Amino acid sequence: MSQKIRSAEGVLRTTPPPGQSVELPKEGETNVLITSALPYCNNVPHLGNIIGSTLSADVYSRHRRRRHLNALDTGTRNRRTLYVCGTDEYGTATETQALKEGITPRELCDKYYVLHKQTYQWFDIGFDFFGRTSTPHHTEISQEIFLNLGHHGFLERQEKEQTYCESCSKFLADRYVEGICPHCKFEDARGDQCDGCSRTLDAIELIQPRCLVNKTHKVTTRISTHMYLKLDKIQPRTEEWIKQSWKAGKWSPNAVINHDGELVDSRLKSGLLPTPLTRDLSWGVPVPIEGEDVHGMRGKVLYVWFDAPIGYPSITANLTPEWKQWWFNPKDVKLYQFMGKDNVYFHTVYFPSVQIGDGRNWTKLHHLSTTEYLNYEGGKFSKSKNRGVFGPAAKETGIPSSVWRYYLLSTRPETADAMFSWADCVAANNNVLLNNFGNFVNRALKFVSSQYGGVIPDGGDTPGPYSPNDSLDSEFITAVNSLLKDYIDAMESVKLRLGLQTVMLISMRGNNYLQSSGLNKQLMTENPTRCAQVISRAINLIYALSALIYPFMPATSESILTQLNAPARAVPEVLSNDILAGHQIGAPEHLFKKIEEKMIDMWRAKFGGVEVQQEAPADAQAKGGPGSKKIKKGAAKNAVVAHDGPKSPEAVELEAKITEQGNLVRTLKAQTPKTPELEGKIKVAVDVLKKLKTELEAEIQKA
Ligand SMILES: [Zn+2]
Ligand SMILES: [Zn+2]
């Protein structure tokens, strides 16, 4: 089939799709390094995880690769782009889950790594590399950073009373211990939190503590030593860095810094405290020991909160030996990080502090893109209740991954929590994709195929941009050009939902154009030149749409290109005549299929889960603050409080705050020595926590 396509200005030179070649940054240029929060490796991802980080990062990564294609001759070139992610594998949550499933932590991670990878593949998420943290490179890089922190005087030893199992001869991390809650007497309270009253606990507070390995084991307490990172000592430099970076990287207001550039994180405001970097566990990066083991660190591992963010560089190291070109290159590399809101502290305060303390010239966060939570049909996603759609199940619905991507991105929770709803999902497919976008593409292509034998007719336009002063179509051309500008602005500033809305506005404009021009057989007979002109302009708008939709729905973009019989193209800045008269198109096909309304109730029932258990806060969220790494009890049968049913967005928000505040209280309580100043801080933090809980109760009563 003959192609007649304008190839001037390098319109047609493509960048390899993600994952097909490893780009290295080039000096003197802007190079873009993209990460999405590392999913934790003890379960399957749900849709909230996917929209919160991996899918959003994928859209931006694809945009960077397709914005210009590689138009070297005009000096506009795609930015060299690298997108890495992987599973976060170490820590107690993995060890205890492995214990439950009767396999080793390594086997557990192997199993879930594959499930994560397959799920993202199905959603067409184009990582350059999807790695994992349980690798020799990861160990090496984490240990090196730990040692550097020590050499620079940022580590200190602290002693802490911890639960110890005499039978296992080891310290029991929070989740290895269960017992009676000292507050509400709930019998199955975990070492870190009570499911009965939702209070955060320290394992040593439990009454009649039990070892999770075996209930008959004798559990006592002993003093354990740990190395702490003196975040307090680094804080002035961290704050200085945040104040510079939020402006340069145009951060959206978040939990750490507001839109006036004021630091709002409670931990920063009350003063950062030394934070533990080591744990008494076996599944993790061994604490490196130089010379004599003076601090008694042998047999301990690095805390997962310390090593998880190091996964970004270590996963890059597993991809290429040249990883340092990306990670020690703040001059030429811009780091874009995508995450759910519960991860903000770790990416803006914690990890940058580690990088500052390490002392090397690290590439640090440039732009951070955070999402609020995606809830499910008036409630929350819950793995334990089997409520909501979890990774592999999305495929079983028969809804194509392109449509899933569209729906999730069109409801991306950018400024407030969003709600997944089957009715909205079906409406998005039937009303927007099928009736608007798909209808426009299909109507124009079918007309070319049936009326012109698949060959673009000559409407008299010269190749290149259409004149906005065109006598018949000036309004249409001007409107499209203005929308193209909106699209580029939105995408460059990572406003992805707005970018997608703009694509749909453009296709709507296309539909109106065909309508108002009266495209039909009669026009073709009575005014063949005008008919040819309308067709050629519509086809070129479709060609533009193939590039605009690519970051969001790569498979749909591919299908449009096949039907147009045209190669991938860059995002045009103005509508132009690129597919020329005489070009032969491919066979038209429908891009989308109607989804029957009756499926809504079926899916609601299928994914509605079982409404019998109480849910712990933050269960539904992407791996985030320590609170979100909860292991779910199979059945919290003695649960005293049962706040089942739909929760208002305010309640969900409050729960997230309570989890965060609870963690702050725990961190404070774990500190020694107990100075009057510290006692004061604890009191303030506890008061805030109580206040939040009162607010939540009121919110639930209201609902
Ligand atoms: Zn034991
Ligand atoms: Zn309790």
Helical segments of 47-122, H only: 47-49, 55-66, 92-101, 105-122
Encode pLDDT of 383-415 as tens digits.
Answer: 777 788 887 788 889 999 999 999 999 999 888
Lowest-confidence range among 16-20, 369-373, 451-455, 612-616? 612-616
Nearest ligand by distance to the CA of 636: 2
Q: How far is CA 434 from CA 440, 537, 546, 594, 602, in A?
A: 9, 21, 16, 7, 21
133 close to 86: Cβ distance less than 8 angstroms: yes
Tokens of 239: 């704050």
Give 172 Cα–ligand 1 centroid separation in angstroms: 8
10 pLDDT band, cuts 50/70/90, is very low
| pLDDT, mean of residues 462-484 | 95
**Backbone φ and ψ of 442, nearest 5°:** -70, -40
Cα–Cα dist 245/251, whole Å: 8
Nearest ligand by distance to the CA of 185: 2
633 pLDDT band, cuts 50/70/90, is very low
pLDDT surpasses 70 at 647 = no
Cα–Cα dist 139/288, whole Å: 9
Encode pLDDT of 596-622 as tens digits.
Answer: 999 999 998 888 876 533 333 333 333
Cα–Cα dist 553/688, whole Å: 44
Tokens of 253: 């207001």
From 550, 551, 523, select the one nearest 538 (Cα to Cα). 523
SS3 state of residue 130: strand
**Backbone φ and ψ of 296, nearest 5°:** 65, 45
Encode pLDDT of 46-63 as tens digits.
Answer: 787 788 899 999 999 999
Please, which residues have CB less than 5 A from ligand 2, an ion? 181, 183-184, 186, 194, 196-197
| pLDDT, mean of residues 361-386 | 87
Cα–Cα dist 284/300, whole Å: 8
For the full predicted model, state whether its pTM sits above 0.95. no
Nearest ligand by distance to the CA of 173: 1
Three state DSSP letters for 529-580 = HHHHHHHHHHHHHHHHHHHHHCCCCHHHHHHHHHHHCCCCCCCCCCCEECEC
Nearest ligand by distance to the CA of 176: 1
Report the percentage of the chain scoring pLDDT > 90.
61
What average pLDDT is seen over the chain? Answer: 87
Contacts of 699 (CB under 8 A, 6+ apart): 648, 650, 651, 654
635 pLDDT band, cuts 50/70/90, is very low
Nearest ligand by distance to the CA of 168: 1
14 close to 566: Cβ distance less than 8 angstroms: no
SS3 state of residue 66: helix
pLDDT surpasses 60 at 646 = no
Give 277 Cα–ligand 1 centroid separation in angstroms: 24
Give 699 Cα–ligand 2 centroid separation in angstroms: 20
Give 214 Cα–ligand 1 centroid separation in angstroms: 6
Give 186 Cα–ligand 2 centroid separation in angstroms: 5
Cα–Cα dist 427/433, whole Å: 9
HSE (side-chain half, CA atoms, 13 Å) at 651? 20
239 pLDDT band, cuts 50/70/90, is very high
Per-residue model confidence (pLDDT) at position 570? 87
The residue with greater pLDDT, 609 or 296, is 296
Nearest ligand by distance to the CA of 213: 1
- Residue 232: CB atoms within 10 Å: 15
Give 650 Cα–ligand 2 centroid separation in angstroms: 23
Cα–Cα dist 532/544, whole Å: 18
Give 190 Cα–ligand 1 centroid separation in angstroms: 15
Tokens of 150: 């020590």
Per-residue model confidence (pLDDT) at position 615? 38
Per-residue model confidence (pLDDT) at position 678? 79
Nearest ligand by distance to the CA of 206: 2
Pairing between β-strand 207-211 and β-strand 129-132 as defined by DSSP bridges: unpaired
Pairing between β-strand 207-211 and β-strand 177-180 as defined by DSSP bridges: antiparallel
